[in-house]
Amino acid sequence: MAALKACNILITGANRGLGLEMVKQLAEMPCSNRQIFACSREPDSPKSEALRELTKKHPNIIKTICLDVTNPVSIKEAAKKVGALTGKTGLNLLVNNAGLAKLGSTQNTTAEDMLAVFNTNVMGPFSVTQEFLPYLQTAAKASGTPGLSCNKAAVINISSSLGSMTCFHEIYNIIQAFPYCVSKASLNMMTVLSAHDCKSDGILFAALHPGWVKTDMGGDQALIEAKESVAGMLHVMSTLTEKQTGVYLDYTGKTIPW
Ligand code: NDP
């Protein structure tokens, strides 16, 4: 199995759920000089306890960064810290994982819920990506290798099959999450546009669906554990090449129709 060799990796929403599991699996992989910037909007609060414990186990690899994806000041401060810690190597992999789900239908979704979900799931990845772009560009230049890959410079947007206009039914019929579906469809479009715009900068973009996973968001009736989902997504990331920039895949590598 190909292993992900990205050196400097940043993950948003890393204090619980899929983000935390991703930090864990990446920290346990043998990879020299790896730095994982594990972001949490409240790194000192009880809800980040598991991340603090994990950081204690891997103090040379995991750096906890305070980052609220809906707060421009917080994003800028995080970028400054990460820029200083990555230097000329740059940032190889940014995983826009932080997400928010709200239930509702066309009839009963409130404007407040629409805005909150849009702010987190669309404006969040947009602002974070834009702020960290210079460090991704640095990594692409520093790599000195042709083509695109997650080891060189990449942005992975954690999407959902609920953002697919073709296969949202499978889960929407069980969990009606109108604002969430609209936000993930928008994140998908952003992935495609960014892949187009940043190809010449040497940066790969992809949207990944983690599967329906047992986390706070996925709930107990979900189909798979975070461990399986994250192992699958990390494997998929390790296989992505220039040919796949702008793709929409699930955690097994299967293409999801837009
Ligand atoms: P969880 O609800 O378990 O975790 C969400 C994470 O996002 C938490 O760390 C949370 O931090 C963080 N977060 C939310 N808002 C912000 C913010 N404004 N700034 C920074 N961090 C924030 O969700 P999952 O782990 O299940 O989901 C991770 C990603 O996977 C999401 O993008 C989700 O949409 C996607 N996904 C999940 C599926 C599933 O079945 N679980 C299915 C398809 C997609 P805090 O603790 O501070 O709230």
Domain-embedded: residue 46: yes
Alpha carbon nearest to ligand 1 atom 16, residue: 98
Is the pLDDT reported for residue 1 higher than 70? no
- In a 13 Å sphere around the CA of 206, the CA atoms on its Cβ side amount to 31
Can you read off the two tokens belonging to residue 102? 């709200």
Ligand 1 proximity of 120 Cβ (cutoff 6 Å):
yes
In a domain, 258, yes or no: no
Q: What's the CA-to-centroid distance between 85 and ligand 1, angstroms?
A: 25
Q: Is 0.85 exceeded by the ipTM?
A: yes
pLDDT at 169 over 90: no
**Enclosing domain of residue 196:** 8-250
pLDDT in tens, 35-53: 999 999 999 999 999 999 9
Q: Whole-model pTM?
A: 0.98
Per the CB < 8 A criterion, the answer to whether 154 and 32 are in contact is: no
Is the minimum distance from the CB of 112 to ligand 1 under 6 angstroms? no
Residue 255 lies in a domain: no
Q: Quick check: is 74 in a domain?
A: yes
Residue showing tokens 């990594």: 139
Query: How many angstroms does the Cα of residue 88 sit away from the middle of ligand 1?
Result: 31
220 in ligand 1 pocket by Cβ < 6 Å?
A: no
Q: Which two tokens stand for residue 92?
A: 């190889």
List the residue whose alpha carbon is closest to atom 32 of ligand 1: 99
pLDDT tens across 80-97, in order?
A: 999 999 999 999 999 999
Residue 3 within a domain: no
**Taking residues 165-180, what's their average pLDDT?**
91
215 CA to centre of ligand 1 in angstroms: 9
- List, in order, residues 6 or more apart from 117 with CB less than 8 Å away: 100, 101, 102, 179, 180, 182, 183
Q: How many domains does the chain have?
A: 1
Quick check: CB of 187 below 6 Å from ligand 1? no
* Residue 256 maps to a domain: no
174 CB within 6 A, ligand 1:
no
pLDDT band at 200 (very low <50, low <70, confident <90, very high): very high
- Ligand 1 atom at minimal distance to the Cα of residue 70: 18
Does residue 134 lie within any of the structural domains?
Answer: yes
Q: Which CATH number goes with the domain that contains 41?
A: 3.40.50.720
In a domain, 257, yes or no: no
Q: SS3 sequence, the chain?
A: CCCCCCCEEEECCCCCHHHHHHHHHHHHCCCCCCEEEEEECCCCCHHHHHHHHHHHHCCCCEEEEECCCCCHHHHHHHHHHHHHHHHHHCCCEEEECCCCCCCECCCCCCHHHHHHHHHHHHHHHHHHHHHHHHHHHHHHHHHCCCCCCCCCCEEEEECCHHHCCCCCHHHHCCCCEHHHHHHHHHHHHHHHHHHHHHHHHCCEEEEEECCCECCCCCCCCCCECHHHHHHHHHHHHHHCCHHHCCEEEECCCCECCC
Residue 32 has pLDDT above 80, yes or no: yes
Q: Quick one: average pLDDT of 109-128?
A: 98
pLDDT tens across 241-252, in order?
Answer: 999 999 999 999
**Dist. CA 221–CA 37, nearest whole Å:** 31
